[in-house]
Amino acid sequence: MDFDIVIHSGTIATADYSARGDIGIRDGRIVAVAERLAGGVRRIDAGGRIVMPGGIEAHAHIAQESSSGIMTADDYLSGSISAAFGGNSTIIPFAAQHRGQSVDDVIATYSQRAAPSVLDYSWHLIITDPTEAVLTDQLPRAFARGLTSFKVFMTYDLMNLGDGGMLDILTVARAHGAITMVHAENNDMVKWMNRQLADRGLVAPKYHAISRPELAEEEAINRAIQLAKLADAPLFIVHVSTAGGAEIVRREKFRGAKLFAETCPQYLALTRDDLDRPGMEGAKFVCSPPLRGADTREALWHHLAMGTFESVSSDHAPYRADATGKFLNGAEAPYPKLANGMPGIAARLPWLFSEGVVGGRITLEHFVALSATNAAKTFGCTTKGRIAPGMDADIAIWNPEAERVMTLADQHDAMDYTPFEGKRLTGVPEVVMNRGTVIVEAGALKAEPGRGRFFGRAPVDLRGRPGVTLPEFDPAQNFGTGLR
């Protein structure tokens, strides 16, 4: 039987190796990888190009209300299109529970919202109200449907769970092979700093960074890991922004914690000086955790190169710099009332490729691991994130030499700014496929809204054996070492 598509003469890059070769695709799957393949209803010439797994964007906020009720500018149509233009084949945004809402209702709500997606999608749940019914009934049901990851918060009064709540939820996750993702900042430290600054009238955007000190992240990362070790449960630290936090992650991985972590382009590209731009420009750079100093930025690059992080995710949190987003609470709103987050779903991979691979800081294979393969492993995407027979044909073909300057128009999102405006980049994803369908080619969208599909994920794989979960938790044998 003929192939539907053969991608030929490209350099195939995986997380382990790169080599010249051809890829044969049939019925949306990769069915052959070989030095040379004949045939193909369509043959795509990838000479001089790099052929790699399409990115998996595992941290994005799309069609999601913030805890203060501000809706993201991107819905699943613009968000998925923007992701595709940025070299992604798959997105795993958040589906957020409001206090009092059932998890089943959250899933029903986001199922409707996600219907227009051009890319395959799954969700991480955000749990803010872990009632008995949520812990014993609703979450296990969600895990069984393949939502095997969820995020909790150690900060924000409306979301913060407390240490006991964290232990309860880690235990439920462990029992069902799910992974807990955590936003780690010490809530009381941040609130105390907010009062100190407000008492002195210091509310310009630049004080946002001062209000959320590095110490607050480091303390909370350390505490979250100790809680996870006590519960002997896997933990994923999202958006690590500090060198101290990265050092703790590194040390605790070495000690055997079941630990995963990501950082984001903004922490590798920008600094808190961007918050001090004239007027209210700095509001565009308000995100949590906040941007740090140039020394921290360099340290995070070293951690990335050393392997401290599994992934680099965008934390795409698109709030426009107008009264629908950043300035919903006024054009001169004090920093605690500015919408929190910045866009980057289209920028993540082109920026990381350029600064990381072309810039000589990480290898091409490491780039593939950070952009797709590791997220697939961590989050149980068993048919995605790799180029091998049997996998979904989720593929991006990159021109590694094309040069451009990053602009808002290139992002194809619903935003009115990009924090990466004007950055010079080398390397462009020219063709992006999802399950064998071309989504983006030659700078144009080729896919129909609504073609993306939900996919369920396997339990978290801690032992290289997908689907094998941990033995039952036994408090009589628990020494809190995380080493079993």
Contacts with ligand DUC, residue ranges (CB under 6 A): 61, 183, 238-239, 288, 315, 317, 340-341
The CB-of-343 to Zn ion minimum distance in angstroms stands at 11
Euclidean distance between CA atoms 330 and 195, whole angstroms: 20
User: Using CB distances below 5 to 8 A depending on partner kind, what does residue 128 bind out of ligand DUC, Zn ion, none?
Assistant: none
The CB-of-238 to ligand DUC minimum distance in angstroms stands at 6
Nearest one of 248, 254, 289 to 272, comparing CA atoms: 289
Q: Looking at beta carbons only, is 3 or 417 nearer to Zn ion? A: 417
Q: For residue 192, how far is the Cα from the chain centroid? A: 29
3-state secondary structure of 214: helix
The span from the first CA to the last CA of the chain, in angstroms, equals: 48
The CA–CA distances, whole Å, from 134 to 130, 146, 340, 470, 473 equal 5, 16, 27, 22, 20
User: Using CB distances below 5 to 8 A depending on partner kind, what does residue 90 bind out of ligand DUC, Zn ion, none?
Assistant: none
Q: Looking at beta carbons only, is 334 or 341 nearer to ligand DUC? A: 341
The CB-of-156 to ligand DUC minimum distance in angstroms stands at 7
The CB-of-67 to ligand DUC minimum distance in angstroms stands at 8
From residue 54 to residue 93, what is the string marking binding to Zn ion with x (rule CB under 5 A)?
A: ----------------------------------------
The CB-of-154 to ligand DUC minimum distance in angstroms stands at 11
Q: Looking at beta carbons only, is 185 or 461 nearer to ligand DUC? A: 185
Euclidean distance between CA atoms 289 and 300, whole angstroms: 14
The CB-of-238 to Zn ion minimum distance in angstroms stands at 6
| Amino acid letter, 298 | E
Instruction: Decide: is 217 part of the binding site for Zn ion (CB under 5 A).
Output: no
| Amino acid letter, 96 | A
Instruction: Decide: is 315 part of the binding site for Zn ion (CB under 5 A).
Output: yes
Residue 310 sits at the vertex; the CA angle it makes with 309 and 314, to the nearest 5 degrees, is: 85
SS3 content of the chain, % helix, strand, coil (to 5): 35, 20, 45
CB 27 within 8 A of CB 3: no
User: Using CB distances below 5 to 8 A depending on partner kind, what does residue 340 bind out of Zn ion, ligand DUC, none?
Assistant: ligand DUC
User: Using CB distances below 5 to 8 A depending on partner kind, what does residue 4 bind out of ligand DUC, Zn ion, none?
Assistant: none
User: Using CB distances below 5 to 8 A depending on partner kind, what does residue 57 bind out of ligand DUC, Zn ion, none?
Assistant: none
Q: Looking at beta carbons only, is 264 or 432 nearer to ligand DUC? A: 264
Nearest one of 347, 472, 474 to 406, comparing CA atoms: 347
The CB-of-266 to ligand DUC minimum distance in angstroms stands at 11
The CB-of-151 to ligand DUC minimum distance in angstroms stands at 7
Q: What is the DSSP string of 241-265?
A: --HHHHHHHHHHHHTT--EEEEE-H
Q: Looking at beta carbons only, is 75 or 232 nearer to ligand DUC? A: 75
Tokens of 346: 């289209």
Euclidean distance between CA atoms 462 and 256, whole angstroms: 11
Instruction: Decide: is 183 part of the binding site for Zn ion (CB under 5 A).
Output: yes
Q: Looking at beta carbons only, is 57 or 315 nearer to ligand DUC? A: 315
Kindly list the residues in this chain that would bind Zn ion in the complex (CB under 5 A): 183, 315, 443
